[in-house]
């Protein structure tokens, strides 16, 4: 099939994936039309011949994707899909009527698809052969598509609730500093003078193991960005959060010279050592406290991620987490970013059941919200958690 155009089905959660793919396709074949649609009906404005519709989606969007895929397939469109859900359950997505699916990294495989190289099982494997980030642009200035620069991909940890190691691999790969500067320069030239980053643990940029900070490399990166005219730098804030054990005195002294953010987002997830072990966080409460102590000492406000409602949490675990939060709010001026546990497909906790909040949670989290110490989508995520649990139970491999 000669591909004339890719139509990307935009959703609020797939902006970064779409941008990376558009950048890869455009830098490979400039004559393919690249279109983004926000309403599925808009796709009907394009002839089916030569059109490929691309979805990238999260597990809680599965029901919507199922309906849209069936609608578009009936009209005769070629459909492909990638993203976190596909990487976890590729056969399930093929069974929805998709022609091909892409697991893991998509940048190289989308080019193979363009070249007519089709895998027999219809699954492009981007998990076994990982891409080298330096071979692909981080965004597409020619299409006026910018996003935070993905400085690292992959995570060596195995947190039980997280799809990242499955989607992005367990070996951390860093985008070369020179390439980050080169693309930031293009951004600055086009008026984009604010730098943000994507990383599973931004303080580990340049490290071999994805956790031990390399302050010299980070200094070089941030200095380089300032030198080319970047006016504001946000580092260690979403979507470039930080693991507690990567927060060191030297790192904070380094970033302080350059960054505009007052907040640093730290993943803690629980105040119970027992839960930290079950969810395989790989750090202790003491390490969290040490990180918060250092952040306060250097004038940063810790914004700490917690996950509530693990189905295996006991009353004692819940109490411990609440006590820990009260302590860090008082002692380190921490703010809490709250999530409800979702049993995402492909993760070690996929079959744990949906996160459930108790009356105690509503009361405690509600009170912290009212006092201005807590935010997050925890209420909505409780509904999404049920949806995700249904996806797991209806898995049709």
Phi, psi of 263 (to 5 degrees): -90, 145
Task: Tell me how far, at minimum, the Cβ of 371 lies from ligand SF4, in Å.
Answer: 27
Q: Which two tokens stand for residue 106?
A: 């998509």
Query: Between residues 77 and 306, which has the closer beta carbon with respect to ligand SF4?
Result: 306
Task: Tell me how far, at minimum, the Cβ of 118 lies from ligand SF4, in Å.
Answer: 32
Task: Tell me how far, at minimum, the Cβ of 153 lies from ligand SF4, in Å.
Answer: 10
Q: Which residues contact 284 (CB under 8 A, 6 or more apart)?
A: 273, 276
Task: Enter the DSSP assignment of 105.
Answer: -
Task: Tell me how far, at minimum, the Cβ of 159 lies from ligand SF4, in Å.
Answer: 3
CB atoms within 10 A of CB 231: 12
Strands 173-174, 152-153: pairing kind? antiparallel
- Find the binder of ligand SF4 among 200, 244, 302, 355 (CB under 6 A): 200
Query: Between residues 146 and 205, which has the closer beta carbon with respect to ligand SF4?
Result: 205
Task: Tell me how far, at minimum, the Cβ of 199 lies from ligand SF4, in Å.
Answer: 9
Question: Mask 225-254, x = binds ligand SF4 (CB under 6 A)?
Answer: ------------------x-----------
Give strand pairing partners of 307. 339
Which residues within the stretch 256-315 sit at the binding site for ligand SF4 (CB under 6 A)?
267
Q: Which residues contact 311 (CB under 8 A, 6 or more apart)?
A: 341, 352, 353, 354, 355, 356
Strands 152-153, 335-340: pairing kind? unpaired
As a whole number of angstroms, the distance between CA 178 and CA 26 comes to: 21
Query: Between residues 90 and 160, which has the closer beta carbon with respect to ligand SF4?
Result: 160
As a whole number of angstroms, the distance between CA 185 and CA 242 comes to: 26
Task: Tell me how far, at minimum, the Cβ of 269 lies from ligand SF4, in Å.
Answer: 8
Which residues within the stretch 126-185 sit at the binding site for ligand SF4 (CB under 6 A)?
155, 157-159, 162, 164-165
Query: Between residues 148 and 165, which has the closer beta carbon with respect to ligand SF4?
Result: 165
| 8 Å CB contact between 283 and 245 | yes
Residues that bind ligand SF4 (CB under 6 A): 155, 157-159, 162, 164-165, 200, 243, 267
């Amino acid at each position: 099939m000669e591909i004339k155009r890719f139509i990307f089905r935009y959703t609020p959660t797939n902006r970064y994936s779409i941008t990376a793919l558009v950048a890869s396709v455009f830098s490979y074949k400039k004559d393919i039309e690249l279109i983004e649609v926000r309403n599925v009906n808009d796709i009907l404005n394009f002839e089916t011949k030569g059109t490929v519709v691309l979805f990238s989606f999260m597990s809680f969007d599965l029901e919507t994707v199922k309906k849209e895929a069936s609608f578009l397939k009936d009209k005769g469109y070629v459909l492909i899909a990638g993203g976190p859900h596909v990487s976890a359950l590729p056969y399930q997505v093929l069974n929805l009527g998709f022609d091909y699916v892409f697991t893991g990294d998509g940048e190289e495989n989308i080019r193979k698809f363009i070249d007519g190289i089709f895998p027999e099982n219809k699954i492009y494997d981007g998990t076994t052969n990982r891409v080298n980030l330096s071979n692909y642009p981080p965004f597409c200035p020619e299409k006026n598509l910018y996003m935070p620069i993905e400085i690292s991909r992959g995570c060596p940890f195995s947190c039980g609730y997280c799809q990242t190691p499955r989607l992005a691999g367990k070996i951390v790969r860093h985008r070369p500093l020179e390439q980050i500067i080169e693309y930031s320069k293009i951004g600055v030239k086009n008026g984009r003078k604010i730098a943000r980053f994507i990383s599973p643990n931004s303080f580990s940029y340049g490290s071999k193991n994805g956790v031990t900070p390399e302050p010299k490399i980070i200094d070089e990166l941030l200095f380089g960005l300032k030198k080319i005219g970047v006016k504001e730098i946000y580092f260690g804030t979403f979507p470039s959060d930080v693991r507690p054990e990567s927060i060191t005195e030297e790192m904070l002294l380094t970033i302080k010279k350059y960054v505009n953010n007052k907040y640093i987002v730290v993943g803690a997830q629980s105040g119970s050592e027992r839960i930290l072990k079950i969810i395989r966080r790989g750090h202790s409460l003491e390490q969290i406290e040490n990180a918060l102590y250092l952040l306060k000492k250097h004038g940063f406000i810790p914004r700490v991620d917690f996950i509530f409602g693990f189905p295996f949490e006991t009353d004692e675990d819940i109490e411990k987490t609440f006590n820990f939060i009260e302590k860090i709010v008082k002692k380190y001026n921490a703010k809490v970013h709250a999530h409800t546990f979702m049993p995402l497909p492909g993760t070690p906790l996929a079959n744990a059941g949906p996160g459930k909040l108790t009356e105690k949670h509503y009361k405690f989290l509600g009170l912290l919200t009212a006092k201005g110490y807590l935010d997050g989508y925890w209420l909505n995520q409780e509904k999404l958690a049920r949806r995700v649990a249904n996806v797991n139970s209806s898995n049709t491999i």
